[in-house]
């Protein structure tokens, strides 16, 4: 698991497990149906759940990649603030949209931004 993304990782994993469970349930329901149209619909839903689970797996792979660029949203304006692929806690960065500085911090396995404010000369 990538440092700084514990809550994200947990939420994704819960969603992946839910999609896998739903896929199994819809497959079972599809097999129990005598109506071909209903069987097709339930089978299609099961397939969609499997695809969703696969997409979540791709998110895990992306988050785990050494090249993944850590970006956090400015809590003031929502602009993405880049911190690179292996940021150090304590790194300071300026939001390019609202010009407010933030410090990257970590609490309970999750990154967050601490507002520093405007720096002198700005």
In the chain, the number of structural domains is 2
pLDDT of 67 strictly over 60: yes
Q: Which stretches within 1-122 are classed as H helix?
A: 6-32, 36-64
d(CA 118, CA 44) in angstroms, rounded, equals 53
State the pLDDT at residue 119: 77
List CB contacts of 11: < 8 A, sequence separation 6 or more: none
pLDDT of 102 strictly over 60: yes
**Sign of the C-alpha dihedral computed for residues 64, 67, 73 and 74 taken in this order:** positive
State the pLDDT at residue 121: 62
State the pLDDT at residue 118: 85
Which of the four pLDDT bands, split at 50, 70 and 90, describes residue 2?
A: confident
112 and 78 in a common domain: yes
Report field, pTM of the whole predicted structure over 0.85: no
Vertex 75, ends 1 and 85: CA angle to 5°? 35
pLDDT of 110 strictly over 70: yes
76 and 40 in a common domain: no
Per-residue pLDDT of 73-94, as tens digits, reads: 999 999 999 999 999 999 999 9
What range does the domain containing 103 cover? 71-117
59 and 75 in a common domain: no
Which of the four pLDDT bands, split at 50, 70 and 90, describes residue 122?
A: low
Give the CA radius of gyration of the chain: 21
As a whole number, the mean pLDDT across the chain is 94
What proportion of the chain, given as a percentage, has pLDDT over 70? 97
60 and 76 in a common domain: no
122 occurs within a structural domain: no
1 occurs within a structural domain: no
In the chain, what's the furthest Cα-to-Cα distance?
Answer: 74
């Amino acid at each position: 698991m990538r440092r700084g993304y514990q809550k994200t990782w947990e939420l994704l994993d819960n969603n992946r497990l839910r999609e896998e469970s739903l896929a199994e349930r819809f497959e079972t329901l599809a097999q129990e149906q005598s109506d071909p149209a209903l069987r097709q619909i339930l089978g299609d839903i099961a397939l969609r759940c499997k695809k969703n689970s696969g997409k979540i797996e791709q998110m895990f792979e992306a988050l785990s990649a050494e090249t993944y660029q850590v970006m956090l949203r400015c809590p003031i304006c929502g602009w993405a603030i880049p911190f690179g692929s292996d940021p150090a806690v304590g790194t300071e960065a300026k939001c390019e949209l609202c010009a407010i500085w933030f410090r990257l911090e970590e609490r309970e396995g999750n990154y967050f931004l601490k507002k520093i404010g405007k720096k002198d000369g700005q």
